[in-house]
Structure 1
Amino acid sequence: MELAYLWIENYKVLSNQEFNFGAKYYFSLKNKTITYSENASHIPNFYNIGSGKANITNITAVIGQNGAGKTTLFEFIRKYVLGSEIPQKKFIAVYISGDHIFVKGNRLEEYLFNFKYSQIENSMRKNKTVFISTVYDRKTEEQIPHELNLSTNFLLQKNSYESTKIQYDINLLDVFSKNKEELSLNIDLRFPDNLEVALIDNLMDSKFFYEYSEQINKINNILLIKEISKEKTLYRQLLFTVFNGFLRYISRQKKLHYNDKIRSDKELNFLLNDLIVDLAKKIDPLNADDTFLLTLRDMSARSDNYKSYKKNIKNIVVFLEYVGNLLGEGKYIDINESRDDRFTLIGQNKIIEFINYYSRSNFKKDFLEFNWAVLSSGEECIIDIFSRLYQVVKTNNGSQQLNVYLLIDEIENNLHPQWQKQILEDMIRFIRKFYSNWNVQIILTSHSPFMISDLPHYNVILMEKLINGEIVNGTLENHELTFASNIHTVLAHSFFMKNGTMGQFATNKVNSLYKQILNKPISELIFQREEFERLINIISEPILRHKLMNTLEERLKFNVYDEINLLKEEILKLKRLNNNND
């Protein structure tokens, strides 16, 4: 089922706006009547290139300046059109499935439709909405029912962003390494062989467990003692981080506050007695590692006393044993020479293995940070996009029939122009390969003219904020064609560039130069000629450069008598100045 049309009565900056998403029919609302006509330019299966079974029903780009309403449109689609919420104001959404037309909206009885349609329920089965954005602008993202929110803003609201993000990366790395030749993407989606890891400073404020503060301080002080070997020092740093991270997790789970009485909670009493009191009794600088692990193993064996934490304790033990063995092998971990809380994992297989162990042990709160150190921000962004695209597959694994609506915000964010040219085709090939037999509709927002060049004109929605603040949407003037258009022509279009394509600083500089050449006295032009010529010669645009140079030369054209008279005037000025000084 494909979203073909949307009319919004009033929502934030959008007022009486209608949007056609480039389906085989155009729809329009006039005088409370919805009409439709055939889209004569529409080409079925236009985006189904390469190998794969996924059916990409349509791709629409919403292009516009900042503040033009793109985010607001996405929000409305996510909440009300594809979601189950009902807005206060009226809206009409039209879907197409084969030759059948479906309509969703509120107060539809007030409108006439010149076509047959079926009304659909608010909650549409076999539909999956996915929102992807690599933009981080600190906005609070709410969880919309039945939507998979893979935006950076939303993921950062969770306590385990680091492990979530790196697990997404690892999932992509694993599947990509197995399908690299078959995918044949334009962009080199490569993963480094090294992953930098840093321990997060998780020192727990003992006031949350004030009755145990003496024991907690003793354990922490011992774990922070530097050892002779850097491997042992790193491992104890890790134990310190895990210990304090686990205490922080317990305080959140139990919703503890400063100086809370905890003896009334039987489960918590058992847990803290085994984790803190017993450990503090046994631990000393010589046996800290073994004592710490032995304590956790004993707790795992008698975890019926604190069933809520049984899985956590078991996974922590497994992870710590794994890291200890890895350090003992001595070839997969390279410890930072200047920082004993940082190390580098070596080898893609070990990276995948390490992350899988860690993801099961981080008690919903990260105690490690990860960094693909040799990747640029653009390469990181490419991995972010494709790892989240693949997460849709992981989340819905086994779903045979599904209508997927992919809403992607600013897909070109942080990408070099060459990659902006290639990202859409690579995304299509990736989705075709991994989205099985699903029907996929993609709606994306962008500032990039490259998106326009890759899409037919009927798949492009332009949103613009007028001087009076009104938001309008439409097409390029004279309904110009967009597909395979020259990128320079598109960029020069008034929708993208007001008052030309030159940067504002350069524009002001050139205008000022031109005014000076026209208005300065000839005498000043003569003395400043070299300076003006230097400025003119660095201008790239040849017509503009020649025009300025010709104007300068025209103003400097005068005969020898004019030059003599000019010099005489200068001599007289100097004499007068000298006489005045006397």
Structure 2
Amino acid sequence: MELVYLWVKNYKNIVEQGFNFSPRFRCEYDEDTKELKIIDKDETGEFYPKNFFGDNINVTAIVGENGSGKSSLLLGITNSKIIIRRDNQFYTNDFTSEIHKFTNINREKDYDIIYMDFDLIKINPITDFWDFSQQNIYDKNLYKRIENNFSGNVNFNIIKYKENFYNLIIKYNDSFLSELFFYNPIEIRLSDFIKTIPFQDSQSKYINDKIKSVQSKKYSKIKFLTFLYSKIKNNPELSKLKHFDDDISILEKEQDILNYSRFSNQEEIDNIYKLLQVLENKKIHKFSIEDFYKQIYNENREAFFKLTELGYLEVNLKDKTGREYFDLSQGERKLFAEFLMLFNSISKSDKSEIFLVLDEPDLTLHPQWQKNYIKELIKLLFNFPKKKFHIIITSHSPFLLSDLPKENIIFLEKGKQVYPFEDGKQTFGANIHTLLSHGFFMKDGLMGEFAKDKIKSIINYHEELLKKKLTKNENKKQRDEEKVIYEKEYKTKFRQIQSIIGDDYLKQVIKNHLVEIEKILYDEYLIDKEIKKLEDEIERLKRLRK
């Protein structure tokens, strides 16, 4: 299955434009006459790469400068005229043709679209395509800030997000995670608080310190005190401690906790305590996903998430080198979580044909991971040999383009499809400079603008000196004044710039400019110039004498 052609009538900066997504077929559509041509390269003898990514996978990249319409084109897939081909038959939602026989396609019944933005996981069937739920990848370091900012927003459910994240890790540990390219989570552990509850006089101080630590955060405080109250009140061992009654009375005086306890689900609190008892009775403080954990998790799911929320239970995922999940770079964590959720979404789909629409998924990734992205994505899809995929991906990465033939790339410029690579030139395996200059329309070169301004300052200074005609004898005073300025403000700076230029040819060009500048400003250069002129004249006269 593949998306062959997309016609956008009017969406954002794209107006009456057609886009070819298939390396095999080239379509031309006239909106006025409603005439549609579908040119098959198998019939014309034109080259195109066949089954390049496998029998069940096709890939189309969309690239272009900022504002060229990449994201608009992605969203246009759901509200524009399209042609899809599968099993040697063309399907459409809106096209008509006297030449080509089309079968109508139902977007909701016939295929799924899985859409994933680069920083917001948005995985939805086509029916919910315009109504995404925004749930960021769970990040331990950001959790408290998110909690404080969104605790009053019922539309942002960070706990639900965490639940989804852990659900996927547990569900796919045996299949997906064990094969993932860089990360294989292997253990869960209890936090230190659960492992060593101090049954001694210092317990009172410990509890008070805990209470104080959360007093500035009402959202955290309520949940913490509710749990703490339930645990202490019902623990016979704790009741033997000194100052126990004082500790309980401190808790009971907290109006927030009393209100919360009266109106919260007591069954929920009991479940939390029950799970703690199970964990403590088992005396298991560290265990792997493969054994006891799945059973405990599945039987006590709600209580588990309350405990992780309160910090009593840690999910400690390690890779094969011993790095924990939050030791990974932000890009690695993002990639791991996105691939995990993508795997889950594909697994849940009951459709045999799926469009994967990925909006700049390689953004924020280290170049090494950008180089690996297509390879790892294809490897992920090999887990689903009975499904057919058309990956549609936007990117700013030349590394991604070097993995794709130009026939699999849509180049956008100002909302239109263009063809910057001439016949015979390819993107596949091309060097980065070519891909950047052609694929991303960098017409003014690849040098950084800061460096360009620094280098141009030398050239501009040389041009200004030439305009002043300082080599004339009548301008000697002005030349001397300019020489003082040059030595004070420019000489050292210009030589430093020239010395660190990385390109050898450009470095020599700028050196020549500096030589010419100093020839203008320094008398000795004028004398040498005159000597050379006289020597040339002498040589000329000698030749005449012979």
Q: TM-score, normalised by structure 2?
A: 0.67
Change (3 A) 1:229 1:144: farther
Structure 1, gaps ≥5 residues long? 49-54, 81-90, 200-225, 249-274, 292-305, 334-345, 466-470, 566-582
Aligned residue for 1:543?
A: 505
Q: CA deviation at 1:442?
A: 1.0
Contact kept? 2:118, 2:362, Cα under 8 Å: no
Aligned residue for 1:579?
A: none
Contact kept? 2:421, 2:438, Cα under 8 Å: no
Change (3 A) 1:416 1:170: farther
Change (3 A) 1:329 1:523: farther
Instruction: Show the 5 A alignment for 1:420-435.
Output: 420-433=370-383, 435=384
Contact kept? 2:8, 2:15, Cα under 8 Å: yes
Match of 1:523 among 450, 466, 483: 483
- Aligned to 1:360, what secondary structure does the other structure show? helix
CA distance in 2, matches of 1:17, 1:381: 34
Q: CA deviation at 1:13?
A: 1.7
Match of 1:474 among 400, 414, 418: 418
Change (3 A) 1:494 1:35: closer
Q: CA deviation at 1:357?
A: 7.2
Q: CA deviation at 1:493?
A: 2.4
Change (3 A) 1:56 1:487: farther
2:51 maps to amino acid? N
1:98 to 2:87 alignment? yes
Instruction: Show the 5 A alignment for 1:336-355.
Output: none
Aligned residue for 1:321?
A: 274
Change (3 A) 1:7 1:314: same
Q: CA deviation at 1:395?
A: 2.7
C-alpha deviations, 1:270-328, integer Å up to 9, x for none? xxxxx9xx99xx9965569999xxxxxxxxxxxxxx9xx9xx75555334433455478
Change (3 A) 1:533 1:514: same
Match of 1:164 among 152, 161, 165: 161
Q: CA deviation at 1:351?
A: 8.2
CA distance in 2, matches of 1:230, 1:395: 46
Instruction: Show the 5 A alignment for 1:185-264.
Output: 187-191=181-185, 227-228=203-204, 244=222
C-alpha deviations, 1:434-486, integer Å up to 9, x for none? x2511111111111122221112121112223xxxxx2222224254222222
Contact kept? 1:141, 1:153, Cα under 8 Å: no
Structure 2, gaps ≥5 residues long? 139-145, 147-153, 194-201, 253-262, 317-324, 466-478, 528-546
1:416 to 2:366 alignment? yes
Contact kept? 2:272, 2:304, Cα under 8 Å: no
Q: CA deviation at 1:158?
A: 4.8
- Aligned to 1:556, what secondary structure does the other structure show? helix
Change (3 A) 1:532 1:378: same
1:125 to 2:109 alignment? yes
Change (3 A) 1:539 1:178: same
1:441 maps to amino acid? H
Q: CA deviation at 1:373?
A: 2.5
1:509 to 2:454 alignment? yes
Question: How many residues are aligned here?
Answer: 447
Aligned residue for 1:360?
A: 302
Contact kept? 1:172, 1:390, Cα under 8 Å: no
C-alpha deviations, 1:462-519, integer Å up to 9, x for none? 2223xxxxx2222224254222222222113273423110111111111112222443
Aligned residue for 2:21?
A: 21
CA distance in 2, matches of 1:75, 1:153: 20
Aligned residue for 2:532?
A: none
2:399 maps to amino acid? F
Change (3 A) 1:96 1:180: same
CA distance in 1, matches of 2:442, 2:517: 33
Aligned residue for 2:61?
A: 61
Q: CA deviation at 1:38?
A: 1.1
1:406 to 2:352 alignment? no
Contact kept? 1:102, 1:117, Cα under 8 Å: yes
Contact kept? 1:141, 1:154, Cα under 8 Å: no
CA distance in 1, matches of 2:293, 2:461: 63
1:460 to 2:409 alignment? yes
Q: CA deviation at 1:64?
A: 2.2
Contact kept? 1:20, 1:26, Cα under 8 Å: yes
Contact kept? 1:160, 1:365, Cα under 8 Å: no
Change (3 A) 1:120 1:558: closer
Match of 1:34 among 36, 53, 72: 36
C-alpha deviations, 1:255-277, integer Å up to 9, x for none? xxxxxxxxxxxxxxxxxxxx9xx
C-alpha deviations, 1:385-421, integer Å up to 9, x for none? 211112214433xx4x521111111111111111101
Contact kept? 1:94, 1:104, Cα under 8 Å: yes
Change (3 A) 1:320 1:486: farther
Instruction: Show the 5 A alignment for 1:568-579.
Output: none
Q: CA deviation at 1:167?
A: 3.8
Change (3 A) 1:20 1:561: closer
- Aligned to 1:381, what secondary structure does the other structure show? helix
Q: CA deviation at 1:558?
A: 7.5
C-alpha deviations, 1:156-182, integer Å up to 9, x for none? 98533354256436634763565667x
2:156 maps to amino acid? N
1:92 maps to amino acid? K
Change (3 A) 1:555 1:13: closer
CA distance in 2, matches of 1:119, 1:364: 49
Contact kept? 2:63, 2:411, Cα under 8 Å: yes
CA distance in 1, matches of 2:98, 2:306: 51
1:523 maps to amino acid? K
- Aligned to 2:327, what secondary structure does the other structure show? coil
Change (3 A) 1:516 1:143: same
Aligned residue for 1:497?
A: 442
Match of 1:484 among 404, 429, 437: 429
- Aligned to 2:510, what secondary structure does the other structure show? helix
CA distance in 2, matches of 1:35, 1:42: 18
2:92 maps to amino acid? V
Q: Which shows bigger deviation, 528-537 or 10-19?
A: 528-537
1:395 to 2:348 alignment? yes
More helix per residue: 1 or 2?
Answer: 2
CA distance in 1, matches of 2:333, 2:308: 20
CA distance in 2, matches of 1:242, 1:519: 67
Match of 2:388 among 430, 435, 439: 439
C-alpha deviations, 1:130-175, integer Å up to 9, x for none? 11123259xx999962559586479998533354256436634763
- Aligned to 2:433, what secondary structure does the other structure show? helix
Q: CA deviation at 1:99?
A: 1.6
Contact kept? 1:246, 1:363, Cα under 8 Å: no
Percent identical among aligned pairs is 23
Change (3 A) 1:245 1:14: farther
CA distance in 2, matches of 1:233, 1:561: 80
CA distance in 2, matches of 1:13, 1:2: 25
Q: Which shows bigger deviation, 386-395 or 356-365?
A: 356-365
1:100 maps to amino acid? Q
Change (3 A) 1:136 1:129: closer
Change (3 A) 1:475 1:319: farther
- Aligned to 1:490, what secondary structure does the other structure show? helix
- Aligned to 1:414, what secondary structure does the other structure show? coil
Q: CA deviation at 1:529?
A: 3.1
1:378 to 2:338 alignment? no
Q: CA deviation at 1:118?
A: 1.9
CA distance in 2, matches of 1:243, 1:560: 77
